[in-house]
Structure 1
Amino acid sequence: MKIVISGGGTGGHIYPALALINEVKRREPNSKVLYIGTQAGLESNLVPKSHIPFKSVSITGFKRTVSVDNFMTIFRFLKATHQARRYIKEFKPDVVVGTGGYVCGPVVYAASSMHIPTLIHEQNVIPGLTNKFLSRYTDRIAVSFAGSSEYFPSEKTVLTGNPRATEVSLSDGRRGRASLKLPGGKKYILIVGGSQGARPINDAVLEMIPMMKDYPGYYFIYVTGDSHYATVMELIKGKTPSNLLVRPFIYNMPEVLAGIDLIVNRAGASFLAEITALGLPSILIPSPYVTNNHQEKNARWLESEGAASVILETELNGRKLMNEISSILSDRAREQAMRRASSSLGLPDAATKVYKELNAITKL
């Protein structure tokens, strides 16, 4: 199989694409892949590091309000479509896949106009503008959550889950705990604010630290983000309780996730795919700074299904966060119910499902 895949801007669009590529390579070692992204997005760094051929187009996203910039975006879209058409014509793919971000717009649209089978993957509960636009042209729409289906044409929408979940579901939690040298016999709580960290979450954890000694049965793993680590370590110098481990970043996150009991984090789509694949209960603190408020909508979906508790950033403080952690972990019935709900939403075979859809549309 020859695949062109496009997804860009943030890790939430890129990591599912890389997971799908890994699945295709696992099943078809001789398959060929071309990744089309932008030079400005994270994909220009992550994709070449994964030894995947990479081409770029120049494109920006539309403003959600009437703006002169949108006229320039239309011009860039047409130019990027022309660039994508050239790459596709040279590569001759069997199928073209878009995993989100505005770069997918010209790539998938170009492929559709060339009558090449196309599939888009939506990670969020509420779809982004690009996927809403492409839904009219693509052959198949794969969604991560059942709640997304109502926004797309039913005849070509299929619930697959997020391919990132497949990689995480295979992780070994014992190795994750061993890598951090965690003591045995505890309830493990992982607190992280995304790859860059999040100051409001960090501030809440700093408030919590004096309280941690009152919970000897809990062990807290606190990931500050690289940019916040030095400041945090200076602030807690000489005050670190024995049941707290502070790290700037965790490189084997799937393994660590598989070895914990409760996660406190933002509500990015790929992250939610990971925790539901593992059946983890969560406390979600959605970022208010993302497009279309996607994270709160993602978080509220999990909360409505009983898999998560949501604390808005405007309501967040150390006491509230500690009380919610204790409320979940001290109530075995609630913790187990959240685990079951999370697991019921998880689709650990997501990469396989998307792969099967790719095969199906190439035979249409």
Structure 2
Amino acid sequence: MLKVLIATGGTGGHLFPARQLAEQMKDCELLFAGHKLQSSPFFDRKIPYCEICSSGSKKDLFLLLKGMWQSLKLIFRFKPDVVVGFGSFHSFPVLLAAAILRKKIVLFEANCTLGKVNWFFAPFAKKIAFQFLVKRKKAAYVPLLPWSLKQVEPKKYPKDPKRVCILVFGGSQGAAFINETFCKAAKLLTFPFEVIHLTGKEDPNIVYDVPSVVKPFEEQMQAAYEAADLVVSRCGAGTTAELIRYAKPAVLIPYPYAHDHQRKNGEYLKQGARVLLQKDATPEKLSREIELLRNNLEVHKLALKQVALPETIEFGKLVRSVGEKK
């Protein structure tokens, strides 16, 4: 039986695709390893896993060395045929140990450009899986996230045909800036609309005087997208893929501390989205961008449907092919 070590941790953006890979490889012996798996709300602790020390700061050298030592012992014990990395510093010690021990490595990069950890380990990887079209050695292409679509409640969000439905969210952790700015921008909009607002956490201060659903999180994002006419959000990799999949025009406010990845994700959508930098995103400018998007919805939808996508292979099959190759 193929043994697969999955190095991941941190936010939903890293853990959601890792868990979906696990679904594709149920016939293999799987082990998750990474930092903060124990405390993550996005990880199912029924899955076999090992908590590994790590740190996002170079100053915490002790934690990184401890994590590498833990990872070396783990790899000696588990003896994986292939190690799969999903980026972020949470996976760094595991991937470093795998590189030292010359284990086969497959990386998954959800964004349009490599993150720091994936960039560092790219020379050691057999394959680097992307969901967006990029020019890079060792690149392989996998379908757009999410890789598994669950059945959703029919018409979970009843829609008023006379109103534009705006879906607002800030990613798996929410975004206080978007929550606050959109609430103010909503008061400036001049067309009839309704709101689905996913806040990331309970916020009793978010109240609208138009039809609205305000909740911390939505497990059935497909239902929210199906109801929406347009989206206001960050532009993480998962969101970017979903906007293409569901052809939903969006005003995107990149997270300003993500090493420019999110801005590049937004630009990948070309005319399908309007990118507004956070430093420029006043309520007045956000409302103006929403109005402009709403006035040309069909044009923006068509642009999303025309985004260039490569031929793909299921990620589980790609990992198997690397792991089984002698």
> TM-score, normalization: structure 2?
0.87
Aligned to 2:220: 252
User: 5 Å matches for 1:181-196?
Assistant: 181-184=158-161, 186-196=163-173
Structure 1 residue 32: Cα displacement: 2.0
Candidates 205, 218, 224, aligned match of 1:231:
205
Amino acid in structure 1 at the alignment position of 2:278: E
Distance 2:41 2:201 in 1: 18
Classify 1:48/1:193 alpha carbon distance in 2 versus 1 (closer, same or farther; 3 Å): closer
RMSD: 2.7
User: 5 Å matches for 1:73-92?
Assistant: 73=61, 75-92=62-79
Aligned to 1:215: 191
Distance 2:297 2:53 in 1: 52
Structure 1 residue 121: Cα displacement: 0.9
Aligned to 2:29: 32
Structure 1 residue 221: Cα displacement: 1.8
Amino acid in structure 1 at the alignment position of 2:82: V
Distance 1:325 1:253 in 2: 21
Structure 1 residue 224: Cα displacement: 2.9
Contact preservation (8 Å) 1:172, 1:259: no
The answer to whether structure 1 residue 60 and structure 2 residue 55 are counterparts is yes
Distance 2:206 2:260 in 1: 28
1:313-362 Cα offsets, whole Å, 9 max, x none, are 122233332332232233254233233235x44x7x96x52212112212
Aligned to 2:280: 315
Distance 2:222 2:49 in 1: 26
1:25-59 Cα offsets, whole Å, 9 max, x none, are 2xx3xx221100113x676443344x211101212
Aligned to 1:102: 89
Structure 1 residue 179: Cα displacement: 2.1
Contact preservation (8 Å) 2:271, 2:300: no
Amino acid in structure 2 at the alignment position of 1:24: M
Distance 2:126 2:49 in 1: 24
Aligned to 1:357: 318
Contact preservation (8 Å) 1:47, 1:54: no
Normalized per residue, the structure richer in helix is 1
SS of the residue corresponding to residue 34 of structure 1 reads strand
Contact preservation (8 Å) 2:8, 2:35: no
Aligned to 1:66: none
Distance 2:286 2:279 in 1: 12
Amino acid in structure 2 at the alignment position of 1:37: G
Distance 1:143 1:335 in 2: 24
SS of the residue corresponding to residue 202 of structure 1 reads helix
SS of the residue corresponding to residue 5 of structure 2 reads strand
Structure 1 residue 60: Cα displacement: 1.5
Distance 1:42 1:126 in 2: 29
Aligned to 2:147: 166
Distance 1:258 1:88 in 2: 43
Classify 1:225/1:277 alpha carbon distance in 2 versus 1 (closer, same or farther; 3 Å): same
Aligned to 2:246: 278
Contact preservation (8 Å) 1:171, 1:255: no
Distance 1:108 1:92 in 2: 14
Distance 1:186 1:209 in 2: 13
Structure 1: 5+ residue runs without aligned partners?
64-68
SS of the residue corresponding to residue 83 of structure 1 reads helix
Classify 1:106/1:226 alpha carbon distance in 2 versus 1 (closer, same or farther; 3 Å): closer
Structure 1 residue 298: Cα displacement: 2.2
Structure 2: 5+ residue runs without aligned partners?
none
Structure 1 residue 19: Cα displacement: 1.2
SS of the residue corresponding to residue 47 of structure 1 reads coil
Contact preservation (8 Å) 2:274, 2:293: no
